Amino acid sequence: MSTPSHSARRSAVYLLDQVLGEGRLMSDLIAAGKLDRLPPPDRARAQRLANDTLRGLDRADRLLSRQLRKPPALHVRNILRLGTVELCMGGDAHGVVNELVGLVGNDRRHAKLKGLVNAVLRKMADGAGKPWHDLRLPRLPAWLREPLVAAWGANPVNAMEKAHFAGAPLDITVKGDAAGWADRLGGTLLPTGSIRVRDVGQVSALAGFATGDWWVQDAAAALPVRILAPKSGEKIVDLCAAPGGKTLQLAAAGAVVTAVDISERRMRRVDENLRRTGLDAACVIDDVLQHEGSYDAILLDAPCSATGTIRRHPDLPHAKDGSDFADLIDLQARMIDHAVSLLKPGARLIYCTCSLLPDEGECQVEDALARHAGLRTDPAALDLPGIEPRWITEEGGLRLRPDYWADQGGMDGFYIACLRR
């Protein structure tokens, strides 16, 4: 039995091996070109298969434990995991089983387990996978779940885990007529102005992508710029700009934009997005803490734990362990202090992180207000369509969570504050 040297399933197993075996983030693997040999549709399918498997990992392992005396080597286990998830989610049994058995059979290290993989996956297809939908929702690992329960309570965290398991629809930001594009793409115009599209395959094949009429951006991630409310001609710097969605928003509003990021590779993506959309910004590869200038407004989307993006990046809890939190929190504070020094009198600063941890959001702003005399939050800037009063925090920021808009598909976890001096 033969298997194509490069296929969506083979590539999905490779991604699982790297995430679960090497602790690598899927976004880093894709940026490094690990899926470039696949045509775009298969590239999208490989990512979807890997993400579905990571979301359902706990359920898959529970079902597989009933069929295995002991877990096989990680590579084979990941093949079984992927096959179990795909079969339990309605995948074609013949195609799933044949290709995955072929993957094992063509691997000299694990070929002797070909019969085991065939037997287990056929059992899953024949009924062993039926309990899938009755199993409990997969939980976050303890290193993350415990601080989130301490911050928000058990029931909200349960709701977040439900949102994580459901995954994320595609949200986009458009340059022009949002309602018109929602109709054209068969999407829904969300209360905050983003468009949500479901059941998307290859994003680059959608109308308007190649012509640069819109870009992919979660509805929560689009709110910092909407709160900043950029004006035409304003001199604005986007600190930690990559991958560039907020830079595009600022440029589309007519601001004079400087996009700053320390990563040359990531800044190339910002430049590509600017060229595709026909928008203009000065791209500067620089350490944010060394950047100099004086600005009418600043957007600081600081490096963070990214714990608010798990519904879109289910690899994160498996590739991280929380050990870098202290360093990130220290870096965020130093970036806020430096950003304040770049503000013109009366100017405004948006501080935001895609984190669910108060230490990276609410607590950072409280501490910044204590460090800088004359700095204040501007809760009035949060008075925008779609923003619910219950999301506004005690210190005057905005807390977004994956369980918000649950009936509409959720949103990324974010913290956003508008600061003025």
Cα(206)–Cα(200) distance, rounded to whole angstroms?
A: 9
Residue 17's nearest CA partner among 100, 64, 97, 82 is 82
Q: Is the peptide bond before 317 cis (omega within 30 degrees of 0)?
A: no
CA distances in angstroms from 64 to 84, 87, 161, 381, 416, listed in the order given? 8, 13, 22, 51, 42
Residue at 238: amino acid letter: D
Cα(397)–Cα(416) distance, rounded to whole angstroms?
A: 6
Positive/negative CA dihedral, 231, 235, 237, 241: positive
Residue 352 appears among annotated catalytic residues: no
Residue 137's nearest CA partner among 414, 402, 413 is 402
- Residue 240 token pair: 């930690």
Contact 191, 222 (CB under 8 A): no
Q: Could you tell me what percentage of the chain is helix, strand and coil, using 3-state DSSP and rounding each to the nearest 5? A: 50, 15, 35
Token pair 């045509």 in the structure block, residue? 39
Q: Give the number of other CB atoms < 10 A from CB of residue 398.
A: 25
DSSP 121-167: HHHIIIIITGGGGGSPPPPPPHHHHHHHHHHH-HHHHHHHHHHHHH-
- Write the CB contacts of 391 (distance below 8 Å, at least 6 apart in sequence): 398, 399, 400, 404
Beta bridge partners of 298: 237, 349
Query: Which of the residues 88, 283, 304, 354 is marked catalytic?
Result: 354
Cα(237)–Cα(348) distance, rounded to whole angstroms?
A: 11
Contact 258, 281 (CB under 8 A): yes
Active-site positions read 354
